[in-house]
């Protein structure tokens, strides 16, 4: 594609000969230095996320339920919920982690849309959560709303933590992948735990 150049003058230049050579030089540079569109390289810190063919679980509608370390304890039955705007820690699991009411900050607002009725959380707490197996782990401080309700799960991890983790969730593959300092970390769901 040929390059074109257009110049407008508000006033006539004093030295037209000098100006003519300057314009010829600019046109030479534009024509000589052709620009090519190249593929942009993938940023180094952004690994490609793929799920292997053959690892699918096509005939299910189960939730993604994983295991992670919370406050240095192995916690099972953690539901990954990409639709939830908060992280939930159930009171029973909170106490099993060795936490006390002193580890809770008070909360006066209510939680709506969680069950049919609005509930008031017992409080809020922040705990370290480690996802993955060594050496492919990632640890974040996670803010939890602590609620006192009967449930089949210990924890629900919502969008804030998934975004901080930069996680890609595939319920079809019963898997969640995320970048770590060494490579890709992965947590697989146990289909038996999901039911």
Query: What confidence tens digit (pLDDT) does each residue in 102-135 have?
Result: 999 998 888 887 667 788 899 999 999 999 998 8
Percentage of the chain beyond pLDDT 70 is 65
pLDDT of residue 19: 58
Q: How many residues does the chain have?
A: 195
Determine whether 82 is exposed, middle or buried from the number of CB atoms within 10 Å of its CB (0-12, 13-18, 19+): middle
Mean pLDDT of 19-37: 53
| Token pair of 33 as six digits | 């230095």
- Quick one: average pLDDT of 149-173? 92
Contact 86, 111 (CB under 8 A): yes
Where does residue 132 fall: left (phi above 0), alpha (psi -120 to 50 degrees), or beta otherwise? left
Assigned token pair, 24: 């010829």
More reliable by pLDDT, 159 or 191: 159
Task: Name the CATH code of domain 64-188 (choices 3.90.1150.10, 2.40.70.10, 3.90.1200.10, 1.10.10.10).
Answer: 2.40.70.10
pLDDT for residue 190: 73
Using pLDDT thresholds of 50, 70 and 90, give the confidence band for residue 27: low
pTM of this structure: 0.70
Q: What is the pLDDT of residue 195?
A: 60
**Average model confidence (pLDDT) for the chain?**
79
pLDDT top residue among 89 and 117: 89
pLDDT digits (tens, 9 = 90+) for 40-73: 555 555 556 555 665 555 666 788 999 999 998 9
Residue 41 pLDDT: 54
Instruction: Give the least confident one: 9-13, 81-85, 128-132, 184-188.
Output: 9-13
Pairing of strands 88-90, 138-147: parallel
């Amino acid at each position: 594609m040929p390059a074109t150049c257009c110049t407008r003058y508000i006033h006539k230049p004093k030295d037209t000969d000098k100006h003519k050579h300057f314009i010829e030089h600019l046109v030479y540079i534009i024509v000589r230095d052709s620009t090519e569109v190249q593929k942009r390289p993938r940023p180094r810190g952004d690994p490609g996320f793929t799920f292997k063919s053959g690892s699918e679980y096509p005939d299910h509608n189960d939730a993604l339920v994983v295991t992670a370390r919370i406050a240095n304890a192995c916690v099972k039955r953690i539901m990954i919920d990409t639709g939830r705007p908060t992280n939930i820690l159930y009171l029973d699991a909170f106490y099993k982690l060795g936490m006390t009411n002193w580890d809770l900050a008070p909360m006066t607002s209510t939680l709506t849309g969680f069950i049919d009725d609005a509930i008031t959380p017992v409080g809020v707490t922040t705990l370290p959560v480690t996802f993955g197996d060594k050496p492919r782990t990632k640890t974040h401080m996670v803010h939890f709303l602590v609620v006192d309700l009967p449930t089949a799960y210990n924890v629900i991890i919502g969008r804030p933590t998934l975004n901080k983790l930069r996680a890609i969730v595939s319920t079809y593959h019963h898997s969640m992948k995320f970048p770590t300092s060494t490579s890709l970390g992965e947590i697989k769901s146990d289909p038996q735990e999901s039911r």
